[in-house]
Amino acid sequence: MKPVRKAVFPVAGLGTRFLPATKSIPKEMLTIVDKPLIQYAVEEAREAGVEQMIFVTGRGKDALEDHFDIAYELEAVMRGRGKSLEALDSTRSIPGSIVSVRQQEPLGLGHAVWCAREIVGDEPFAVLLPDDLMWGKPGCLRQMVDAYERVGGNIICAQQVAREKTSSYGIITPGRSDGALTEVKGLVEKPKPEEAPSTLGVVGRYILQPEVMRVLDRQESGAGGEIQLTDAMAALIGTQPFHGLTVDAVRYDCGDKAGFVTANIALALERADVGPSVRAFIADLG
């Protein structure tokens, strides 16, 4: 079984839901406390053993690459002032470990993943959607890689969603369950509540076999007229092992304003530096 060494981060979206904040900065650079969303996702991938991060990016998104580069002037000034560079440690990357390709047109998540096909090559790979901040120990992708090492094939992160919310998610037709692993018998993108096969939703973490790229080569559009990753994955069911993993992690939907603010409060409360003042402020609210 080949190890998961590569991860694809679809980050070409315009982030219109977060305007005006995202007019001139990528939505993935929005911060939860003091760290941009993209960095949480990259750190999660590193913890899971991923060596190469593939950003599927677009125009106006250079800040994402700059963030993992060496900020030479900044470091020189900080050194000159005798300041610690520790806060920059996790933004450093081994040369060559961050690669980017462009998605020239917004044709859907499946299309974004397909844009990385030449770099992914013939290997299993992870996909992380940075909008879904997954907060767990070990991290969500680490838990998925551990399961992958046992059962192989394709593994998607699964969580129960409210019946009235099925039209926001890929939804799984579940088969047999074994602990946290559930066999995936079918997948449908954003079904209406009355048509959803279950309330087991797909959240933004995937471990996929390279054959999914051959399905995406067909460029078939699905729900919303977009080329959907969910449809391409569905075509692999029955040809390869396919499981949903219920991870031990909290999901913050940072593509949504309320979810984004919630993530900021929740993660701030866990921090030794800012937690006490935020907790005191909340207590004062009564």
Smallest distance, Å, CB 16 to ligand G1P?
Answer: 13
Smallest distance, Å, CB 251 to ligand G1P?
Answer: 8
The site for ligand G1P (CB under 6 A) is made up of 109, 129, 132, 169-170, 189, 201-204, 229-230, 255
Smallest distance, Å, CB 261 to ligand G1P?
Answer: 18
Between 247 and 278, name the residue whose CB sits nearer to ligand G1P: 247
| 213 burial level (CB within 10 Å; 0-12, 13-18, 19+) | buried
Between 11 and 278, name the residue whose CB sits nearer to ligand G1P: 11
Beta strands at 181-189 and 170-178: parallel, antiparallel or unpaired: antiparallel
Between 236 and 278, name the residue whose CB sits nearer to ligand G1P: 236
Smallest distance, Å, CB 62 to ligand G1P?
Answer: 22
Contacts of 255 (CB under 8 A, 6+ apart): 17, 27, 131, 132
Distance of CA 35 to the CA centre of its chain: 15
Smallest distance, Å, CB 115 to ligand G1P?
Answer: 15
CA angle 207, 240, 1 (to 5 degrees): 60
Smallest distance, Å, CB 221 to ligand G1P?
Answer: 13
Q: In whole angstroms, what is the distance from residue 65 CA to residue 80 CA?
A: 25
Q: In whole angstroms, what is the distance from residue 157 CA to residue 87 CA?
A: 30
Concatenated DSSP letters of 1-57 = -----EEEEE-----GGGTTTTSSS-GGG-EETTEEHHHHHHHHHHHTT--EEEEEE
Smallest distance, Å, CB 76 to ligand G1P?
Answer: 40
What H or E segment, with its residue span, contains residue 143? Answer: helix 140-151
Between 183 and 226, name the residue whose CB sits nearer to ligand G1P: 226
Residue 221 carries which DSSP code?
A: -
Between 229 and 278, name the residue whose CB sits nearer to ligand G1P: 229
Cβ atoms of residues 59 and 24 within 8 Å? no
Between 159 and 278, name the residue whose CB sits nearer to ligand G1P: 159
Residue nearest to ligand G1P (CB): 170
Between 36 and 170, name the residue whose CB sits nearer to ligand G1P: 170
